[in-house]
Amino acid sequence: MASLFHCTASKLSSAQPLRHALLRKNLAAISAFFSTSSSQSAIKNVMVIGSGLMGAGIAQVAAATNHQVTMVDQTNAILTKSMRSIEKSLDRVAKKKFKDDAEGGNKFVADTLGRITITTEPNTAIGDTDLLIEAIVENMRTKHKLFTDLDNAAPSHTIFASNTSSLPIREIASVTKRKDKFGGLHFFNPVPMMKLVEVVRTPETTDDTFDALFQFSKELGKVPVSCKDTPGFVVNRLLVPYIMEAVRMLERGDASARDIDTAMKLGAGYPMGPMELADYVGLDTTKFIIDGWHEEYPDVPLFEPSEILNDLVARNKLGRKTGEGFYKYD
Ligand SMILES: NC(=O)c1ccc[n+]([C@@H]2O[C@H](COP(=O)([O-])OP(=O)(O)OC[C@H]3O[C@@H](n4cnc5c(N)ncnc54)[C@H](O)[C@@H]3O)[C@@H](O)[C@H]2O)c1
């Protein structure tokens, strides 16, 4: 296409102003056509692997935005439970979205659920999948096993994406033969509420793959941002070291947990202080991320582990989910 444009333009002369203008108009129309068509996602059929906290949320928003979704997990019991939680979440959405239209709300819930199929056999169901999103446990070996199997079973056009929070996308993709069609789609919890998606590209991710992932995120009603495959992408790369600096402050005795939180809420305008945030995220998750980064980058002081954090995790004080972390919860 580039050489055609080059050839056409080189034939233009100043003696043909009208033809010149018409040609320019045609070229603009052609280029507008191509930019419009490339901004429309080719993604219709989506497979979501893992139907936990994140996978169920991703399946829900994809189905609610008219995509056909196949949701996969290890057992039918897990999948049935996930479908129930999606239904409850959709009921909440419908109550807000169709405040004075109960019938419209019921139809929205039924239609969305109708676009989700469940299975424990991804290899046999993957036939017409345009985009596969992995949201299983945060373990490289488990993800490698899954992607090796799926790479063999999936059609060549299928794009693969991982929702990992802390593992390098390039390393996850390394076991596949489609590194050019592999990227990160990092959603935030709870998926139906949180607007952001970090769209992550590795050096091998092609522009077409990246554009398809970016456009798909927009179709879900999200706001995508682009990020290279670096530890923590944007949000966690800033948030986790910030939490760890607060923990180190506590460790040194510079200030109490309560005072650190009050200071950041009232002085920096944050809705939650760093200790409250750590308890909300889960101290085990925070420790898992920082330990992984420390192992990979032992010279970065911001990634140093913390004794207080290690001790709380060892005593199963993991934050809100266990009733105690930096604070106690009823
Ligand atoms: N929880 C968060 O706030 C959050 C945010 C962003 C990204 N993530 C990432 O999303 C991924 C999933 O996290 P989560 O919180 O939803 O976990 P989760 O434990 O709630 O769900 C994981 C699900 O994957 C299933 N699973 C495990 N191995 C499987 C396999 N081989 N095949 C099919 N299903 C399998 C499990 O049965 C479970 O239902 C992780 O990579 C995590 O880092 C989590």
Q: Cβ(58) to ligand 1 under 6 A?
A: no
What local confidence, expressed as pLDDT, does residue 27 receive?
47
Residue nearest to atom 19 of ligand 1 (CA): 52
Ligand 1 atom closest to the CA of 54, numbered from 1: 16
Average confidence score pLDDT of the chain: 90
Identity of the amino acid at 112 = T
Q: What DSSP string describes 279-303?
A: HHH-HHHHHHHHHHHHHH-TT-GGG
Ligand 1 atom closest to the CA of 136, numbered from 1: 24
pLDDT-derived band at 42, boundaries 50, 70, 90: confident
The predicted-structure confidence for 84-105, as pLDDT tens digits, reads as follows: 999 999 999 999 999 999 999 9
Q: Do 60 and 191 contact (CB within 8 A), yes or no?
A: yes
Closest CA to 245 of 211, 277, 197, 205: 277
Ligand 1 atom closest to the CA of 143, numbered from 1: 31
The predicted-structure confidence for 223-234, as pLDDT tens digits, reads as follows: 999 999 999 999
Residue of 218 and 42 predicted with greater confidence: 218
CA 234 – CA 217 distance, rounded (Å): 17
Token pair belonging to 95: 């109550």
The CA distances from residue 34 to 21, 31, 37, 169, in Å, are 20, 5, 5, 30
Give me the phi and psi of 121, to 5 degrees please.
-120, 75
Residue found under tokens 């050019």: 180
How far from chain centre, in Å, is Cα 320?
23
Token pair belonging to 96: 């807000």
| Count of CB atoms situated within 10 Å of the CB of 240 | 23
pLDDT-derived band at 137, boundaries 50, 70, 90: very high
Residue nearest to atom 3 of ligand 1 (CA): 189
CA 296 – CA 165 distance, rounded (Å): 15
Cα–ligand 1 centroid distance for 14 (angstroms): 63
CA 97 – CA 197 distance, rounded (Å): 22
Q: Cβ(82) to ligand 1 under 6 A?
A: no
Cα–ligand 1 centroid distance for 4 (angstroms): 48
Would you put residue 196 in left (φ > 0), alpha (ψ -120 to 50) or beta? beta
Token pair belonging to 278: 């750590």
Closest CA to 292 of 225, 244, 227: 244
Overall size of the chain counted in residues: 330
The predicted-structure confidence for 172-223, as pLDDT tens digits, reads as follows: 999 999 999 999 999 999 999 999 999 999 999 999 999 999 999 999 999 9
Active site residues: 165, 186, 198, 236
